[in-house]
């Protein structure tokens, strides 16, 4: 079903009381006529949730913060309306907004550790919420604290209330933040990547809590995420954003099952699946930055289906199959992802050439045992994925292998040679041959050094080469990770998250290691960049005959990079073997539960429709 172009996508709003209505929202760089987001319109009914998806830089968080009447430093809200229960938040003065925030509008940020005051006990922070908004609850504060903790699936004991944030796990911290957000029974809750970095089980508990509370109390929810599978299971309608504009908006079971906009198709093609072993396809190129956006369709430079009109005229919304799509060719239902193209991963030759062996490894922090009799073998040209919940010991295992943790017993051998605990006791060759890529690309690179200096530093440490050869190796390392020599004189803050992670990989590979340890290297990246990084690692692993340990909580990603998997639970390997055997036919109850908790992205209209009906 197609129709004539329309001005805004409000017709997409679901049945029921419209609690939040956003109309023509525009946010610009302060003192400049350059928009960061523009022409943003959508509606959310009471008890429903809308998901904002898109690559980093698409404007998702900017829109989310505008729901609170707030703009980040250097930005200002220049136009539009954000009506909550009929009140336009953008017309309120600062005092009225402060009174509204927390009481009627709540916000849950990505990092709960930074959202909670580390110097105050959990109970103190919860009580402060009700102290600041005394008219928002109809019972005493102590009873309300116990109630919200129970709703967030947390222990409401005195012991819990006396804890400090650092004494809680990441999942517990996030549930405390959610309890605080729902404490005053708001009309609107905005959640900005609240499950990034959480394991699948903790993530499921957090999402169940959010879904239940929104439905129970008629709260309108705005959920920002780059995890499409999570969004697909949680929200009722999806807003796909690109370069500060909405390019597709509609019911989740339509947008995800049969995406129309080429950008939506690209995002879904990049999403990994726990059920299929396939090549991940990232979207070529980068989103244009504010002030540097092209004429016509902003996505045209990256779109394989573009025509002359796409580069000349900005597309209007077109109504197609319960959706509004901003694309000149929307009515044609152009498929830019070839369904006949094979995405099956090539079969790797089996090898018995074991590069790294871990035997009977037991590790502790002080008197607390973290790993218990762990055994893992990593063959050459093979990737072993290590999965498990937060606190299962995954990172401790990686730190023991790399020498960053020394309080362990057992055997770790590299090419048959035993490695002693700690980097100080290891030979230069041993340090060179085991390299580590850390989780957060924003903290793993020295902000005061150029990219060239960052990559050159390990060359200077491990090799005695001339300046010209060192420079050649830096350029070669950048080219290996699909970056150019133009990056040598840039600083980390001038790079995107995906570019920073490529630099971190280049720094690790420039010394020609035998073993590469990747510790949650894609958890902070959007789905398209994640696909590019995974395919980059897979290519480099094959070309360099690398042995790789890939630590992740994203079980869907495992099938696209690893040949075998080890499942850790409370410091023990409870199940291991080929990826297909473990993920398709798990035997241990713990692995079965993990697989049940993995969010699955719907891939057909019928499946998606059933998922939408269940919500």
Domain layout of the chain by residue ranges: 2-257, 354-584
Higher pLDDT, 525 or 511: 511
354-584: CATH topology: Rossmann fold (3.40.50)
Among 354, 505, 511, which residue's Cα sits nearest to residue 432?
Answer: 511
180: CB partners within 8 A, 6+ apart: 106, 125, 126, 129, 148
Same topology between domain 2-257 and domain 354-584: yes
CATH superfamily of 2-257: P-loop containing nucleotide triphosphate hydrolases (3.40.50.300)
What are φ and ψ of residue 523, in 5° steps? -65, -25
Residue 370, pLDDT score: 93
Q: Which residue's entry shows tokens 């690109």?
A: 242
Other CB atoms within a 10 A radius of the CB of residue 380 amount to 17
517 torsion bin: left (phi>0), alpha (psi -120 to 50), beta (else): beta
Evaluate the CA torsion angle 323, 76, 98, 111 in order and state its sign: positive
Mean pLDDT calculated for residue range 474-496 = 90
The chain-wide mean pLDDT, for the chain, equals: 87
pLDDT band at 272 (very low <50, low <70, confident <90, very high): confident
Over 70: is that where the pLDDT of 194 sits?
A: yes
254: CB partners within 8 A, 6+ apart: 321, 322, 323, 605, 608
Over 90: is that where the pLDDT of 402 sits?
A: yes
pLDDT band at 602 (very low <50, low <70, confident <90, very high): low
Residue 350, pLDDT score: 57
Among 201, 165, 157, which residue's Cα sits nearest to residue 570?
Answer: 201
Residue 2, pLDDT score: 39
Give the tens place of pLDDT for each residue, 353-377.
Answer: 899 999 999 999 988 899 999 999 9
Give the tens place of pLDDT for each residue, 87-111.
Answer: 999 999 999 998 888 889 999 887 7
Whole-model pTM: value is 0.83
Among the residue ranges 36-50, 203-217, 401-415, the one predicted with the least confidence is 203-217
Question: What share of the chain has pLDDT > 70, as a percent?
Answer: 91
């Amino acid at each position: 079903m197609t129709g004539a172009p329309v001005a805004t996508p409000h017709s997409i709003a679901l049945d029921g009381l419209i609690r939040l209505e956003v109309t023509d929202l525009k946010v610009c760089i302060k003192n400049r006529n350059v928009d960061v987001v523009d022409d943003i319109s959508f509606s959310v009914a009471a008890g429903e949730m809308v998901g904002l998806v898109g690559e980093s830089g698409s404007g998702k968080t900017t829109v989310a913060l505008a729901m609170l009447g707030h703009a980040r430093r250097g930005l200002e809200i220049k136009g539009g309306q954000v009506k909550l229960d009929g009140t336009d938040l953008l017309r309120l003065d600062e005092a009225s907004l402060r009174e509204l925030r927390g009481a009627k509008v709540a916000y849950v940020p990505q990092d709960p550790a930074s959202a909670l005051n580390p110097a105050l006990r959990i109970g103190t922070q919860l009580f402060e919420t009700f102290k600041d908004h005394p008219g928002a609850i109809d019972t005493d504060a102590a009873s309300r604290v116990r109630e919200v903790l129970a709703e967030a699936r947390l222990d409401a004991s005195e012991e819990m209330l006396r804890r400090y944030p650092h004494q809680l796990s990441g999942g517990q911290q996030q549930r405390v933040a959610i309890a605080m957000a729902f404490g005053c029974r708001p009309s609107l809750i905005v959640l900005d990547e609240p499950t990034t970095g959480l394991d699948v089980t903790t993530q499921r508990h957090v999402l169940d809590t959010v879904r239940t509370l929104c439905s129970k109390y008629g709260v309108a929810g705005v959920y920002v995420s780059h995890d499409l599978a999570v969004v697909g299971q949680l929200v009722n309608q999806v807003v796909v954003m690109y370069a500060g504009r909405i390019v597709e908006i509609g019911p989740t079971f339509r947008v995800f099952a049969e995406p129309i906009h080429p950008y939506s198709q690209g995002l879904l093609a990049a999403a990994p699946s726990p059920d299929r072993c396939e090549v991940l396809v990232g979207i070529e190129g980068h989103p244009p930055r504010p002030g540097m956006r092209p004429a016509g369709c902003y996505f045209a430079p990256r779109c394989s289906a573009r025509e002359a009109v796409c580069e000349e005229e900005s597309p209007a919304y077109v109504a197609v199959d319960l959706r509004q799509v901003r694309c000149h060719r929307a009515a044609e239902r152009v498929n830019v992802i070839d369904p006949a193209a094979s995405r099956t991963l090539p079969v790797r030759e089996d090898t018995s050439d074991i590069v790294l062996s871990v035997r009977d490894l037991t590790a502790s922090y002080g008197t607390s045992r973290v790993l218990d009799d762990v055994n893992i073998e990593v063959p050459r040209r093979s990737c072993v994925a290590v999965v498990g919940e937060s606190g299962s010991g995954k990172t401790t295992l990686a730190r023991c292998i790399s020498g960053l943790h020394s309080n362990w017993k057992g055997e770790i051998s590299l090419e048959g040679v035993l490695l002693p605990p700690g980097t100080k006791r290891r030979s230069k060759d041993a340090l060179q041959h085991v390299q580590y890529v850390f989780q957060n690309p924003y903290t793993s690179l020295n902000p005061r050094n150029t990219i060239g200096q960052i990559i050159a530093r390990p060359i200077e440490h491990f090799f005695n080469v001339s300046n010209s050869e060192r420079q050649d190796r830096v350029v070669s390392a950048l080219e290996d990770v699909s970056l150019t020599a133009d990056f040598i004189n840039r600083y980390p803050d001038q790079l995107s998250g995906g570019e920073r992670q490529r630099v971190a990989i280049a720094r690790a590979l420039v010394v020609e290691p035998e073993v590469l340890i990747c510790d949650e290297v894609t958890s902070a990246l959007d789905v398209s960049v994640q696909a590019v990084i995974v395919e980059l690692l897979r290519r480099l692993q094959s070309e360099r005959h690398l042995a790789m340990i890939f630590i992740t909580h994203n079980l869907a990603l495992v099938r696209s990079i690893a040949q075998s998997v080890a499942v850790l639970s409370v410091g023990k390997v409870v199940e291991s073997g080929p990826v297909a055997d473990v993920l398709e036919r798990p035997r241990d109850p713990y692995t079965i539960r993990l697989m049940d908790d993995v969010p699955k992205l719907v891939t057909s209209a019928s499946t998606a429709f059933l998922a939408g009906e269940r919500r």
